[in-house]
Amino acid sequence: MKKSAIICFLGTDGSGKSTLAKYLCGELKRAQYNVAYIWWLEGEQSLLRKAIKAFGKSVDMARDARHERPGMQRQRTTDRLFRSFYPVLPFLDYLRFGLIHAWLPKIASKDKIIIFDRFMYDVVLALSEEFEFTERRRKRLFELCNLLLPKPDLVFIIDVPAELSYSRKKDEIRSVREAEEKRESYKELGSLLQTLTPGRLVQIDNSCDVAEAEAEILKETLAFIGGDGS
């Protein structure tokens, strides 16, 4: 087997990332590999993240309350400062999360396989959409992620049609159009990762039989880590 490896599952909401990542983790455990599954967004439940969200919500409420009042030029300046400063907080907190859950296990164990359901790239995409980052700023953040966090060794980008992801996640995705926009973002991310990380990138179509996607993922993983697939 190869040394420690980081495997990431990326894709839009409703693409089936979590199901496939947990499947792979279970199969590798049954094959006696030293493996761990980590949901990247579990950091959303931390006290710090909740405080950051509460702060952002309070600023939004105050802005809405003053919307029709005098002094709009000053308020617009405040909003611009907030939109520039606020995204830094969750970004830095997720870097902290990555140092703990990616770097430390990689250093501590020479044969551990860490499966991430989402990764820092998802955070950058989400912040880019919410705060309308320029393409240049978004690329710089991706590069910073690659500099400070271990680069994934194997990346699965899970893809489904926009209509399917919308039907699965109507409580999180507002329309088919939004689902399509998110899908295009991940297609662009896949192209960018080819230049940022030396890890292997594999596109997985999860719109048909999930067993086919599972088989392809397991085959690719075993080939990468040195298993024989038996």
The pLDDT value given to residue 4: 80
Distance CA 120, CA 122 (A): 5
pLDDT average, residue stretch 103-114: 89
The pLDDT value given to residue 229: 44
With CA atoms as reference, report the closest residue to 34 among 104, 101, 111: 111
Q: Name the percent of the chain lying above pLDDT 90.
A: 56
The pLDDT value given to residue 114: 96
In this prediction, residue 48 has a pLDDT band, given cuts at 50, 70 and 90, of low
- Element containing residue 114 per DSSP (H, E): strand 113-117
Q: Which two tokens stand for residue 135?
A: 């393409």
Q: Give burial (CB, 10 Å; 0-12/13-18/19+) of 52.
A: middle
With CA atoms as reference, report the closest residue to 159 among 177, 188, 186: 186
The pLDDT value given to residue 90: 82
With CA atoms as reference, report the closest residue to 98 among 24, 54, 150: 150
pLDDT average, residue stretch 197-206: 92
The answer to which of 35-39, 66-70, 212-216, 225-229 has the lowest mean pLDDT is: 66-70
In this prediction, residue 230 has a pLDDT band, given cuts at 50, 70 and 90, of very low
Distance CA 157, CA 183 (A): 11
Decide: 206 and 16 in contact? Cβ < 8 Å: yes
Whether the pLDDT of residue 222 is over 90: the answer is yes
123 CB contacts (<8 Å, ≥6 apart)?
A: 40, 90, 91, 94
Distance CA 184, CA 190 (A): 10
Q: Which two tokens stand for residue 33?
A: 């590999």
The answer to which of 11-25, 42-56, 60-74, 84-98 has the lowest mean pLDDT is: 60-74
The pLDDT value given to residue 150: 93
In this prediction, residue 130 has a pLDDT band, given cuts at 50, 70 and 90, of confident
Q: Quick count: other Cβ atoms within 10 Å of Cβ 115?
A: 23
| AA letter at 38 | I
CATH class assigned to 5-44+90-225: alpha beta
DSSP symbol at 19: H
In this prediction, residue 30 has a pLDDT band, given cuts at 50, 70 and 90, of very high
Whether the pLDDT of residue 204 is over 80: the answer is yes
pLDDT average, residue stretch 141-151: 92
Report the DSSP beta bridge partners of residue 156.
9, 202
58-85 pLDDT, tens digit each? 655 555 555 545 554 545 555 666 666 7
For the chain, the structural domain boundaries read 5-44+90-225
pLDDT average, residue stretch 145-166: 94
Q: Name the percent of the chain lying above pLDDT 70.
A: 79
